[in-house]
């Protein structure tokens, strides 16, 4: 983001505004952390700010500071539409295309107001007047830190804001291990701890919240794990029936895709999760090294994301989706064997 743009945004924020902050469907730790951090910062500046998510998010995020104020478009559509219609400014965080907001897309597309995008996904769309996009950033939360820093307000980062930002950096970096984790990330995180983020407690609240049924579901995922050694690829599938039999709750399958990637030699891991309600198979893809799962899901599964972490979907049945997946792999044999 250019200095001139920061100047203009600063000018926009110099008088109280109605502000909507929104994020992608099925919000994750980075989506919830970044929206709530920005919300608390803007509220402290005197703005009337609300966070709207397209739908529900997992229970392990239901403690993040200010989380109770979030409006879920799917449950509270009228209230959400009203807030969007009267917004002077709309911040869209942690996504690169309005279609990532699902049912909210039309309402957002109709809003004739100023959009600000802050995001780290590849190939950002151009709907926003101000776009702060950096695909080298580990998380949108780190970008929120830099955004506040550019405005000259790091001292306004409260323990609650620091906690929100920490949540998104921690979850999007796989606890500071992915390649996107830089020395700057660690410096930002150190500053967040100094400003009151309680790192041990945050880890516990996000990661030590398993239910017995979630652990059983993980057992099923491991049982269904298949390895294709000739492609250094592993995949997992979970059917709707398996979800139902294990009291599935949103977020229960979070991170399961990484089980495949933890196998020695595996460079490409995928999970296929049947969603009968939406009539789709939701797909998560992860890779190590040069193989781009962003391209792979863009080309074959109506998705996208990052170089090493992406998502997509399929309208075929679970078994046909897997069959399609396996039939594509020979085209990538060389890059998967490098």
Interface with ligand 5GP (CB under 6 A), residue from 27, 33, 251, 304: 304
105 to 144: interface string for ligand 5GP, x by CB under 6 A: ----------------x-----------------------
By CB under 6 A, tell whether 303 contacts ligand 5GP: yes
Longest dimension (CA), the chain: 60
C-alpha span between 138 and 183 (Å, rounded): 11
SS3 239: coil
Q: Which does 306 bind (CB under 5 to 8 A by kind): ligand 5GP, Mn ion, none?
A: ligand 5GP
C-alpha span between 136 and 182 (Å, rounded): 10
- The stretch near ligand 5GP (CB under 6 A) out of 13-21, 154-162, 193-201, 297-305 is 297-305
Cβ closer to Mn ion: 56 or 172? Answer: 172
C-alpha span between 123 and 33 (Å, rounded): 22
Q: Which does 267 bind (CB under 5 to 8 A by kind): ligand 5GP, Mn ion, none?
A: none
Cβ closer to ligand 5GP: 28 or 242? Answer: 28
C-alpha span between 166 and 158 (Å, rounded): 12
125 to 164: interface string for Mn ion, x by CB under 5 A: ---------------x------------------------
Task: State which of positions 269-288 bind ligand 5GP (CB under 6 A).
Answer: 284
From 245, 242, 298, select the one nearest 272 (Cα to Cα). Answer: 242
Task: State which of positions 67-106 bind ligand 5GP (CB under 6 A).
Answer: none
Alpha-carbon distance values, 251 to 45, 297, 334 (Å): 33, 21, 34
236 token code pair: 């997992």
Q: Which does 185 bind (CB under 5 to 8 A by kind): Mn ion, ligand 5GP, none?
A: none
C-alpha span between 284 and 314 (Å, rounded): 11
C-alpha span between 151 and 142 (Å, rounded): 14
Site residues (vs ligand 5GP, CB under 6 A): 24, 121, 284, 303-306, 309-313
């Amino acid at each position: 983001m250019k200095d001139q743009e920061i100047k203009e945004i600063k000018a926009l924020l110099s008088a109280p505004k109605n502000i909507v902050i929104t994020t992608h469907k099925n919000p994750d730790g980075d989506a919830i952390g970044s929206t709530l951090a920005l919300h608390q910062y803007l509220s402290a500046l005197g703005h009337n700010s609300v966070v709207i998510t397209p739908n529900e998010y997992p229970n392990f995020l239901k403690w993040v500071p200010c989380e109770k104020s979030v409006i879920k478009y799917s449950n509270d559509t009228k209230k959400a539409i009203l807030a969007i219609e009267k917004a002077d400014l709309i911040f869209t965080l942690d996504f690169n295309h309005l279609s990532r907001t699902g049912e909210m897309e039309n309402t957002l597309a109709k809003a004739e107001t100023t959009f600000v995008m802050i995001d780290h996904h590849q190939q950002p769309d151009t709907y926003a007047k101000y776009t702060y996009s950096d695909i080298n950033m580990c998380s949108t939360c780190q970008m929120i830190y830099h955004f506040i820093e550019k405005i000259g307000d790091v001292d306004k980062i409260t323990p609650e804001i620091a906690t929100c930002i920490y949540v998104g950096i921690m979850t999007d970096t796989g606890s500071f291990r992915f390649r996107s984790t830089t020395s700057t990330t660690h410096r930002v995180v150190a500053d967040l701890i100094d400003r009151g983020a309680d790192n041990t407690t945050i880890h516990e609240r996000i990661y030590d919240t398993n239910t017995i049924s979630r652990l059983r579901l993980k057992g099923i995922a491991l049982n269904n794990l298949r390895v294709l050694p000739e492609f250094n690829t592993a995949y997992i599938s979970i059917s709707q029936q398996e979800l139902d039999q294990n009291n599935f709750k949103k977020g229960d399958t979070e991170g399961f895709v990484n089980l495949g990637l933890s196998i020695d030699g595996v460079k490409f891991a995928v999970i296929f999760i049947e969603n009968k309600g939406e009539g789709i198979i939701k797909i998560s893809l992860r890779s190590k090294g040069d193989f781009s799962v962003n391209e792979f899901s863009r080309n074959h599964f109506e998705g996208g994301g990052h170089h090493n972490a992406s998502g997509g979907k399929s309208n075929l049945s679970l078994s046909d989706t897997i069959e399609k997946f396996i039939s594509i792999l020979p085209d990538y044999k060389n890059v998967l064997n490098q």
